[in-house]
Amino acid sequence: SALKLDLEEKLFGQHLATEVILKALAGFRNNKNPKKPLSLSLHGWAGTGKNFVSQIVTEHLHSKGLKSNFVHLFVSTLHFPHETKIKLYQDQLQKWIRGNVTACASSVFIFDEMDKLHPGLIDAIKPFLDYYEQIDGVSYRKAIFIFLRSARGAGGLWHSGLIDKNLIDYYIPFLPLEYRHVKMCVRAEMKARGMTVDEDVVTRVAEEMTFFPKDEKIYSDKGCKTVQSRLDFH
């Protein structure tokens, strides 16, 4: 219920995602004997809250959140930048997942920029997502894997291999944000900074964002992504 409250207060325009994430996590954590680790795929436009949600979720699973020793964030372009080193990355990643789950069964692994992750690394992760009781004496069934994927670049599901075998439990779409959602983000940011909410500033920040389609101006191009720096400016 604390997670529910947090998501309802801090995440805007994503009712579907909120509902699915809450159900998925509650179901998984209440199951004493899960048959596989929980795997969530969060996909949608930039700035719609995918990273933000995974941060909130991990804080409720391990109180130090991303700083916890039991939460691991991998960013494709940062951790696995060179195609020539894929073999090394594969070995490393498997060793890390094994080592960390051995130390803490309910470790959380977040993979950001899935759309940029080499297929060879997806293959390296796959065995851990499967229904094995254990692999070499280690059970991965209590672990949680969260995959983040940006929707720009014509959709298409990233790597059919993971889907074929139904290794992803939930595909969670993040919807583009509307003008009113951007305003909500600005108000929330002002409150978080201990400022009183000034509707003039809220409007000015929101009006500076760019929206699409060009004529109707319905959805924010960058979601709420640049709200913080724009607020600094105003």
Interacting residues toward ligand NAG by CB under 6 A: 72, 95-96, 99-100, 103
Q: Residue 46 or residue 104: which is nearer to ligand NAG going by CB?
A: 104
What's the min distance (Å) between Cβ of 58 and ligand NAG? 13
Helix H, strand E, coil C: the string for 140-209 is CCCCEEEEEEECCCCCCCCCHHHHHCCCCCEEEEECCCEHHHHHHHHHHHHHHCCCCCCHHHHHHHHHHC
The least CB distance from residue 98 to ligand NAG, in Å, is 7
> Shortest distance, CB of residue 138 to ligand NAG, whole angstroms?
11
The nearer residue to ligand NAG, 85 or 95, going by C-beta atoms, is 95
Beta bridge mates, 135: 138
Going by the DSSP 8-state scheme, the letter that residue 135 receives in this structure is: B
User: What residue has token string 């909500």?
Assistant: 184
Nearer to ligand NAG, 39 or 100 (CB): 100
Please say which residue, 19 or 91, places its beta carbon nearer to ligand NAG. 91
Residue nearest to ligand NAG (CB): 99
Smallest separation (angstroms) from ligand NAG to the CB of 43: 23
- Selection from 34, 71, 49, 45 nearest residue 145 by Cα: 71
**Contact indicator for 222, 44 with CB cutoff of 8 Å:** no
